[in-house]
Every structure is written in C-alpha cells, then in structure tokens.
Structure 1
Amino acid sequence: MNHWRKLALASAAALILAGGADPAAAQRRSPAAAQAQKSAPWPGLPPGASEEYMTLRDGVRLAANVFKPEGKGPWPVVLSRTPYIKDGRIDPDKDPKGVKNRENLVKQARRYTDAGYVYVLQDVRGKGRSQGFYAAFENDIEDGYDAVEWAAAQPWSNGKVGMTGGSALGITANSAAMAAPPHLKAAYVIVAPADRLSYSYPGGVLKEKDTIGWLSQQGVPQSTLDQTRGRSLDDVGWNRVAMTTNRKYIQVPIYNVGGWYDIFNGGTVENFEYLQNQGAKGARGNQKLLMGPFGHGPLSGDLAYPGADRLGLAGDQEIRWFDYWLKGQDNGIMDEPPVQYFMMAAARKDALSPKNRMIASANWPPAYREVRYYPGEGDALSNKAPTSASRKVSYRFDPTDPVKTYGGANLTFEKGPEDQRLVGQRQDYLRFQTPVLDRDVAIAGPVKVELYAATDGPDTDFVAKLVDVYPDGYEALVLDAPIRTKFRNGRLPEDIRMMTPGAPEKLVIDLWPTAITFEKGHRIALHITSSNAPRFEVNPNTGEPPALGKLKPRVATNTIYMDEAHPTALVLPVVYPDDVR
C-alpha cells in the first residue's frame, strides 16, 4: 500500500476512534472550544475574514482566513493553500502596507461567497501566520489531507470541499488530491506541473533563473539552493511528491487550466491525459482541460493573442465546476466536450489573424499525423528525408559566452513569443527554415526534435527551438527545450553515460505540446544551439555537474548530423483545420 495512503488511513482511524464513524467528526468542536482556538484579531486581516487555526497530525498549527457567505449555513467549502501569505504579500515599492493585495484577496473571496461557498485561504506550513518549517511542497500531501478534513468538519461546512488555485496553489491542490481525503469532491487547478524534477530540470538541465530564483524569493536557505542545484538525478525525494508517481491515487474530478507559454504547459496537459484516460474511479472520464495562449504572467514580444488573460478565457467555468460537483446542480458542464484549446495563429499586435480561435475536442491530443521536417543544405528545412551519405555542420560552444535568453516559458523574467532575431548572428546558433509556406500548416499535440549529434568531449548540451517566422522576418518563439547529453538514456544513476568524443548519437528533445497554425506566407523554423542563459544553466562541457565547478569549463566542438543514416528532424503533430473547427 502506498506510504501516504497508509498515513491517511492511520489518520482517519485515529479520528474515528476520537469522534465516531465520521473521519471528520474528531475535528468538530463546540463553539466555545472553537473560540478558544482562535487567535485575537490582528490588523493585517483582510476585511470580511475571520482567522481560524487547525492542528496538523504532527501538532503544527496552520492559520487560515475564512470568508463566509451571507445568510445561514452550513455551506460547501472552496479551499486554497498558499505559500504566498493569506493576508497578502507586501511589495516594498508598489504596496508597502499590502493594501492592494488585501483588496484583491477580498475581491477573490467574494467570487466564492457570492456564489454560496465558504472560501478558506490557508497559509501553508512555515508561511505567514502558520507554524512550522517551510520546505517547498514537501509536506503538502499529508498537510493537504488534514486541511481538507478540518474544513469539512467545521460548523460552517456541509462536509463538501473543493480545492482551487494556480501555480504553487495548484501544486498544493494536486498534492492534497493525491492523498485522497474523503471529503474532497473536486478541484480546479491552474498551471501546475506533473513532475517537479522534469520541470526544474527539463532534459536534465537546471532552469537556472526560475528554479533557483523562485526558491530564493520564498526565503529558502542557501544550503537548500545548493542541494537543488545538484538534484538533477531521479530519486525518491523527487518521486515522493510527484504527480507522475502518485496521481494514480487521485479519485476526484479536476478542471485543469494551462497556457501554451506557461512554465507548466506540459504538466497541465499530461495530468489531464492520465487522469481522464487512466485515472482511478471518480477521476477517470471526469476531467476537463482548457489550454489558452498565455504564460505565467503577461507575455513579452510583439504578439497579442485574444484571451491571453487566463482568467478571462476561463470565464465562469470554475464556479460552474463547483456548482456541479459540490452543489449537485445539473448545469450541463459535464455534457460539454472535455477539452477546449486555443489554436494560435498570426497575432502581431497590429494584425491579428481570424484563425486564432478556441477549439473543442473529445480528448487530448486530437487526432494528428507526425510530419518530419529535416534540416539540410543551405539552412533549409523540408519534409523530404535526406538522401546524402554525409552531411553535417559543426560549431564551437564556449560556456563563457552563452546564447542569451529571449522569451520562452519563463516565470521570473521576460516570457512568451519574443523575436529570436535578438539573438543575432552567431556561429553557435543554427537556423533552419522552410520556404515561404504556400498553405497553412496547423499542429496540435506533442512536439519533439530527433537530433543526431556529437561532441568532442564527455558531455554537452543541445537546445532546440520551434519558431514561427513572419513575412517581415519576426522570429516568434513557440517552444524551446534543452537536453544534457549524459542524460540521453534517462535520469537514474545507472542511465548516465558520457558521450564518446566524435561519435554521433540520437538525442530526443521533448519540446512539450502546443497548438498553432503556421499561416500561408510564414515559415516554420528550427533553431539549434547549445545554451540559452539565464533560462537554463550553462554546461561546462566537462562531464561534471556545473554546481561542483572543480574542473575548468572547456570549449566544445558540437556537430549536428543531417544525412540518410542520421536524419535529424523536427517532428510536428499536423492536424487538418477542416477536422478541428
């Protein structure tokens, strides 16, 4: 039996012994006892909220703001668990007293209370007014279980709990769902990953600025940051809290909302795919997916997609979702197609294409055909497989002079479809592109690059980018991802294998999914290089982890092969517009 299920069952058994047959009953207190548990009001409390505390199974107490509807309860509950402070974060420059943040929290709470829900916003362990030590997402499976059961047992609750939140709050919602608390009935998760290892280390390469930068902003100590820098291998620590390992225990419907330029793009899609098609009873067949043209914050670059505001795009879907699963209202939401995705197209700020649109689908991905585009002579990219016996191109990759990041699925800095012409002309940055398209090419599904490559040392990185080239030359980034060559066979210790200098090997780079129409008059481009900083940690080409830094970085000569025996290819999931309208 799964370790966390054992803990959950042990916790439930203890509650039953303490309070009867209902596992939430032991948490119920008389009004006088409940009052004794509350802290005195304090000035930071948002208007309309009461502060209530719960005690976790290990004795740590967590604080929550509770917003109740008008009238007489009990009511269903919508719960969010946050590391971002339940009373609103202080911005020393823009909002030193946190007034705007509290106003936003109150506005957010009213969405739920006006719809007839108690809204509970809880500080996670070690944050804000809660006790304990904060270790990002390490305790949120068991803490989430306890929080759901506590909320279900309160006098203002009717015992039905939903969870909601985006990003870190989406992770805590997924974590609680993996523990399968009996009173959790549904969740609404916005932009959350499937596996933190894959999203902190895509292709085995640390997302330098976002991973280390975000943890630093959360007050994580330097010792933990140093450990994170060295955690590129698959281990029990990553898997203990990973959705990929534990989502088989999820038993509830989840509405997943994600963005094509979001840092957790692939996770949002992957979680839906698994739970909808392979999930446990209660989850399978009851999932929803909405993918829009947004990132983890406002997009950079010269494109402006309609519906780039993720909340605006989702509309009232969240309340409808909870009305169906927590109130039993037959509002038709489960009669609608389970998938809605935005088909991106040309979107210059002054020339938006009408081919930008939402598409409904019975599942993800929609039916597609893999079409390979092969780089070749003269920087060409075509769907004709190479026939030459020998064709290759080499460049020198100097770790002290990395290619600079311009856009992408970033969190803490510029993100989205920035113009890759800003990279400039460099000998270590290869551009391959199709002729001007004489018809639209629409794709929807997973994108990858099958790269045949060699290096003259033990290890290096390769980075691939999918780019939409506009008629005026604007190189709009669509997707990008790296691979560290020593991890080409996997991330377990026994999978690591250094490269044989000069010997080409097949490397598969997962670029994640997307949906975009490369319009007539545009070009499809594949860009290949070996660095993208500060988005990704720069490889010293020595074979040792960059965090160790014992060996002097070396300049690598990297080679891309493009011949009949080594058919490097961009693999696109081509759909047919008439079939997906």
Structure 2
Amino acid sequence: MTNLQQKQIITELNVPVEMRDGTVLRANIYRPHQEGKWPVLLTRLPYGKDAPPIHFGYYDIVRAVQQGYIVIVQDTRGRSASEGEWDPILTGRYEASDSDETINWASKLPFSNGEVGMFGSSYFAFTQWAGMLHHPNALKAVAPSFSWSDPFNGMLYRGGAFELGFLSYWQLGMHLDTLPRLYPDQQELAAATKQLISDIDQLKSEIHSLPLKNFAPFIRNKVAPSILEHINREMDQEYVNHLSLKGKYNKFTIPTLNIAGWYDIFLQGTIENFLQMRDKGGSLEARQSQLVIGPWQHLDHSQQAGELNFGIAADSASIDLVGLELQWFDHFLKGIDSDIAGKAPIKLFVMGENIWREEYEWPLNRTHYTEYYLHSRGHANTLRGDGILSTVYPENETPDHFTYDPLKPVTTKGGAIMMPNDFNGGAYDQREIELREDVLVYTTSLLEEDVEVTGPIKVKLWAASSALDTDFVARLVDVHPDDSAMNLTDGIIRARFRNTATGEKPSLIEPEKVYLYEIDLWSTSNLFRKGHRIRLDITSSSFPRWDRNPNTGLDFGEDQEQDAVVARQSILHDQKHPSSIVLPVIPRS
C-alpha cells in the first residue's frame, strides 16, 4: 500500500437505504482507500448531504477518514435525495426508527467493523437522541451539539412566548427544498419559488402579520401545516412529545459529548441534556457524558459573536473541536485510552476574561448566589433614568412604570437567536434600545473589582399590569468603560404561564394586581471587569424573536391587529416586593 493510496478517500454517493415502510433514504459514504474494516461515524441531516456539515462550522470529514473512520452523511426523510414527506414536527416522528435502521445498516456494511458513532448539530443532534431511544447495539457514542431538550424552552416557545423569529425564518428557508415535490408543473414551481423567495426577503416586514393562526407567509406558501396546527394547539406537550427529551434520560445508555454556545438558541437545552445524562443516564457510560461551552452562536463557532471578538482562543479551530470529538470517538469506538472518566467533564469559556477553564460540576459548587436589587425614585425609564442595581435590600421606594404598545414593540438586537439576516445574533450594544421609554434600565456603580458570573441566572420581578395578559422581558448586560452595553443573556415570561413550572394550568392575571414573576435567563459565564458595570434591562417585548403579546387575554393566535391593547406596566421594588436579579457569583481568590 503506497502513501498516496493511504491518503486517498473512496466516495460513494446517493447510496440507498430502505426503511421498513419501503421509504428509501440516501446517503454519501466516505471511507479509507485501504483494506480493512473501520468504525462508522454517521450523521443524518435535513440540510442536504451533498453540502455536509461543513456549513455548521467545525466537522472535518477528510480528517475523520484519515484517522481511520468511515463517515456517512444521510438525507433525512423527505429531504434532498431521500424519499418521503417532510414536515418539521410530523416527520420528526420517524427519526427514531429511521436512525435506528440506518445505524443497523451502517454497522453491517462490508467495510464496517460494526461499531457506530453519531455526530452533528441542531436537527441532526436530535436524530442522534431519537436513534438512541431504540437502543441499537452497534451505537457506542454520540456527539450531539447545539441541541434542544424541551421544545417549550427555546425551540417552539420560551416562557410561554412563541419563538416567532426562529420558526418563521427556519421553516420558510426549509420549504425551498420541498417546492419541487409540491409543484411538478414547472410554471407553477417557478411562481411558487418566486413567491417564497420574496417572502423570505421581506420577512422583516411580513413578520408583523396577524393573526398568528393565519400567519400570512405560511398560508401563501403552503408551509408546514403542523406549525400552524401547533399554534392552534399552543403548548400541547403530547403533540410534540417525540421532539422532547424530558423524562427520557434513563432510557439513554450511550455516552454523549454535548457542545454548546453562550449565544446559541439551544444553550439551555444542551446544558440540560448534559446534566440529566450525568444524573439519570441509563448506564455507567452514559453518566460519563461531557460538556463544552464556547462563546458561540448556533451557526458561527468562531471567535467573533456579534460586535465582540473574544480572542483567537475562543475559535473552535483553536481548541481543536474536531480533535476533541475524534478523541471522544477514539475512546468509545476504538478503545484508545484517553482517560475520559478521569477528566473534568466540563470545558467552558469565561467571556470577559477570555479563557477556557475546566470544571467538575454545574452549577459550580463554589457559587455565591447574590441578589442584586432594583432601585429607583420611580424614573428608571431609559439609560438616562435613575435606575440603580445593587446588593442593598430596598426600602419603601416608588414603583417604575412604562407603557407597552404591542404595535410598537422593542426590537430584538443580538442575543441567542437564529433569525433572518436583518437580525444578527451575539453581543450587540443595547444603548439604542435602552433609550426607549418602554425600557427600564438598572445599573450598578463602577465595579471596584472583577466580578465573575458563571452559572444559571434568574430574575424575580414583582410587577402589575393593566392588562389581562402580558409579557415581561429581562436582559443582563455588561456595560464597558466606553459605556457600550453588551448583552449577555435574556429571558421572557408570558403572564398567563407564570406558574406552569410548578404544575399549574395557564391563567389570566387580574389587572393591577401584583404578581411575582420568575424569569429564566438561562446561563452565562462572564467576567465583569473592574471599571465595568452590571446592568439589568426590563421591558415587555423582544420582537420578532418572540411574538408580541397583544395583551387581550384571547386564545393564542386569535388576535387581529385592531384587537391589540396598550398596557401600563408597574415594576415594584420595595421591602415587600424586592425585585432582583440573582447572579451566580464565583469567588476569584
């Protein structure tokens, strides 16, 4: 065998794999040009196998093959070269069986040694979790990256609010590939394609369309009846149970390498998957699962996140994320001892300090949960107001008020999003938003020493509204010495869902009655440097990331534009109502 042959790769395209129901899925196979049998690394994706996960930023098929793996990339059901119908919710019901059957097929290929691993991000992280439910004997390890856990916590909904920006952008884009199947007539196909492209390009304005149950871009393009059905069903857990991992972790026996980003739309899902696998995984190997979190976005794993550059060490290439995954598979598929069990299970990037650090638990045992209380003389509106954030418990203080008009919502700027190109994710200066009268701004004095915040964050907000239902949004911000206000993480709560986390059914609120709202801001890791300031923004919208609450109390999706009600919001911060943000402060000495 010559050196040239050893470096060559055999490629087989559009290899058919027939499922039990007769549907044929197709895959590309990449394998070493050598005699022998090799372990398989499989990914199943709906984005086109002929442009493999290179557009997700960090997987290197050539390197994997040269390191002694067969790599298989398969189009999921109804996508690209694979047969069947595609629908983001309904088709997802097939992913468990399709993944299981594909794993079994891959393990029996003549050049396979029978050992299979799976890799991939986002939807093709979901195909890994789905496949594990069937306990295929050949599957030995997986690396599900940027993955959701509960569809109602960051995929379809967040805090009861609809993930409008993500779902409209993603679903319209995904629909482009389905048009040839829906319109065999070329003239009809051309017209439908023109309409869809126009709607995608104009989504920034079209996204204001009401009512949501008849979302105009979906209706015009015959897009995803299950999405519209889901709007009608609102948060119906049974309808999306096949997409959820809640309550299933004891069924997973395969070790998982979980990869996340501080500015990823599925950040909390990936963290939850890791925690549940460490605690409830169905085998000793499963409980060896690990977690890597960088300052990344869903589709961008570079050192740049929005307007902030976190340094070359933050780039996924700099930490050799490909190498970390291959080491993971080497251990579980090849038996190469890499002391997986003896290593710290968490590798995270501390923004602000811009370093990687290894940890052994989440949240960190050394965390000091510190409440920073809201203060003002009743005029915290805008960054020029009198809002203060401090660890001092409030006295008898005047509430702050603002008016929330659903037809003039606060615009989404940065954050853990994946939306049309008009709305970029990551860290962005929030001062333009903080100049609005419907945004309350609470800021600490200049920090006299560094303050590290690493872990889960929540806001305890005592608030009243003149409406029957409304939203409250909270955002944690790092204010730099030049006064730029860079967002770190945020969250939302829809009033009617204020107690559903404790098992209560959704219920409307009583106008002007004070309620305690807990807003989950997920997690972050950031060093607030000496001379910086910590800031909390409070408002009632971040549109179009989340749908606007029309404040009417009508059933979800029913509101017409003329139904919208302007709400007067009151935020209390006194001895009986100590509104605060709870920060996980990590001692630095």
Normalising TM by the smaller chain, what interval? 0.7 to 0.9
Q: Partner letter of residue 404 of structure 1?
A: T
Residue 106 of structure 1 and its aligned partner are, at CA, apart by: 13
Residue 397 of structure 1 and its aligned partner are, at CA, apart by: 0.4
Of 124, 139, 148, the residue aligned with 1:193 is: 148
SS at match of 1:274: helix
Residue 543 of structure 1 and its aligned partner are, at CA, apart by: 1.1
CA distance in 1, matches of 2:485, 2:80: 43
Partner of 1:22: none
Partner of 1:331: 338
Residue 315 of structure 1 and its aligned partner are, at CA, apart by: 4.8
- Any idea what the Cα deviations from partners look like across 1:262-290, whole Å, max 9, x if unmatched? 11111111111110122111444311111
Partner of 1:527: 537
Q: Partner letter of residue 150 of structure 1?
A: W
Partner of 1:112: 64
1:303 aligns with 2:308: yes
1:565 aligns with 2:572: no
Partner of 1:363: 361
SS at match of 2:119: strand
Structure 1 residues 129 and 426 mapped into 2: Cα distance closer, same or farther (>3 Å)? same
1:202 aligns with 2:158: yes
CA distance in 2, matches of 1:572, 1:322: 36
Partner of 2:268: 266
Of 448, 460, 464, the residue aligned with 2:470 is: 460
- Any idea what the Cα deviations from partners look like across 1:333-374, whole Å, max 9, x if unmatched? 4432111111111xxxxxxxxx32111111222121210000
SS at match of 1:187: strand
Asked whether the equivalents of residues 368 and 587 of structure 2 are also in contact (C-alpha less than 8 Å), the reply is: no
Residue 59 of structure 1 and its aligned partner are, at CA, apart by: 1.9
Residue 546 of structure 1 and its aligned partner are, at CA, apart by: 4.9
Residue 430 of structure 1 and its aligned partner are, at CA, apart by: 0.5
SS at match of 1:49: strand
Asked whether the equivalents of residues 296 and 305 of structure 2 are also in contact (C-alpha less than 8 Å), the reply is: no
SS at match of 1:271: helix
Residue 131 of structure 1 and its aligned partner are, at CA, apart by: 0.9
CA distance in 2, matches of 1:156, 1:556: 66
Structure 2 residues not aligned, in runs of 5+? 1-8, 179-222, 377-385
Q: What are the residue-to-residue correspondences of 1:240-319 with 2, within 5 Å?
A: 240-298=242-300, 299=304, 301-306=306-311, 307-313=313-319, 314-319=321-326
CA distance in 2, matches of 1:510, 1:52: 45
Residue 392 of structure 1 and its aligned partner are, at CA, apart by: 1.0
Asked whether the equivalents of residues 206 and 536 of structure 1 are also in contact (C-alpha less than 8 Å), the reply is: yes
CA distance in 2, matches of 1:510, 1:493: 16
1:373 aligns with 2:372: yes
SS at match of 1:310: coil
- Any idea what the Cα deviations from partners look like across 1:425-465, whole Å, max 9, x if unmatched? 12210000100000111111100101111111110000000
Q: Percent identity?
A: 34
Residue 234 of structure 1 and its aligned partner are, at CA, apart by: 3.7
Partner of 2:48: 85
Residue 243 of structure 1 and its aligned partner are, at CA, apart by: 1.2
Asked whether the equivalents of residues 300 and 414 of structure 1 are also in contact (C-alpha less than 8 Å), the reply is: no
Q: Partner letter of residue 305 of structure 1?
A: F
Residue 108 of structure 1 and its aligned partner are, at CA, apart by: 3.2
Asked whether the equivalents of residues 185 and 326 of structure 1 are also in contact (C-alpha less than 8 Å), the reply is: yes
- Any idea what the Cα deviations from partners look like across 1:466-490, whole Å, max 9, x if unmatched? 0000011100000011110001111
- Any idea what the Cα deviations from partners look like across 1:412-437, whole Å, max 9, x if unmatched? 23001100012151221000010000
Of 429, 440, 452, the residue aligned with 2:439 is: 429
Partner of 1:143: 98
Q: Partner letter of residue 476 of structure 1?
A: M
Structure 1 residues 300 and 328 mapped into 2: Cα distance closer, same or farther (>3 Å)? closer
1:398 aligns with 2:400: no
Structure 1 residues not aligned, in runs of 5+? 1-45, 90-100, 346-354
Q: Partner letter of residue 519 of structure 2?
A: I
With the length of structure 2 as denominator, give the TM-score of the two structures.
0.83
CA distance in 2, matches of 1:533, 1:559: 21
CA distance in 2, matches of 1:505, 1:553: 22
Residue 521 of structure 1 and its aligned partner are, at CA, apart by: 0.3
SS at match of 2:153: helix
Residue 70 of structure 1 and its aligned partner are, at CA, apart by: 1.9
Q: Partner letter of residue 550 of structure 2?
A: P
Residue 235 of structure 1 and its aligned partner are, at CA, apart by: 2.0
CA distance in 2, matches of 1:398, 1:106: 42
Structure 1 residues 370 and 398 mapped into 2: Cα distance closer, same or farther (>3 Å)? same
Partner of 2:414: 407
Residue 188 of structure 1 and its aligned partner are, at CA, apart by: 1.1
- Any idea what the Cα deviations from partners look like across 1:40-90, whole Å, max 9, x if unmatched? xxxxxx98334321122222111111111121132110000010011128x
Q: Partner letter of residue 207 of structure 1?
A: E
SS at match of 1:400: coil
CA distance in 1, matches of 2:280, 2:391: 34
Partner of 1:130: 82
Structure 1 residues 411 and 175 mapped into 2: Cα distance closer, same or farther (>3 Å)? same
Q: Partner letter of residue 357 of structure 1?
A: I
Structure 1 residues 105 and 240 mapped into 2: Cα distance closer, same or farther (>3 Å)? closer
Of 234, 239, 242, the residue aligned with 2:241 is: 239
Partner of 2:585: 574
Structure 1 residues 387 and 234 mapped into 2: Cα distance closer, same or farther (>3 Å)? farther
Residue 394 of structure 1 and its aligned partner are, at CA, apart by: 1.2
SS at match of 2:407: coil
Q: Partner letter of residue 437 of structure 1?
A: L
Asked whether the equivalents of residues 178 and 247 of structure 1 are also in contact (C-alpha less than 8 Å), the reply is: no
Asked whether the equivalents of residues 189 and 257 of structure 1 are also in contact (C-alpha less than 8 Å), the reply is: yes
CA distance in 1, matches of 2:565, 2:56: 50
Asked whether the equivalents of residues 443 and 574 of structure 1 are also in contact (C-alpha less than 8 Å), the reply is: yes
Asked whether the equivalents of residues 370 and 571 of structure 1 are also in contact (C-alpha less than 8 Å), the reply is: yes
Q: How many residues align?
A: 512
Structure 1 residues 555 and 289 mapped into 2: Cα distance closer, same or farther (>3 Å)? same
1:215 aligns with 2:215: no
Question: Bigger shift: 477-486 or 307-316?
Answer: 307-316
SS at match of 1:198: coil
Asked whether the equivalents of residues 116 and 138 of structure 2 are also in contact (C-alpha less than 8 Å), the reply is: yes
Partner of 1:27: none
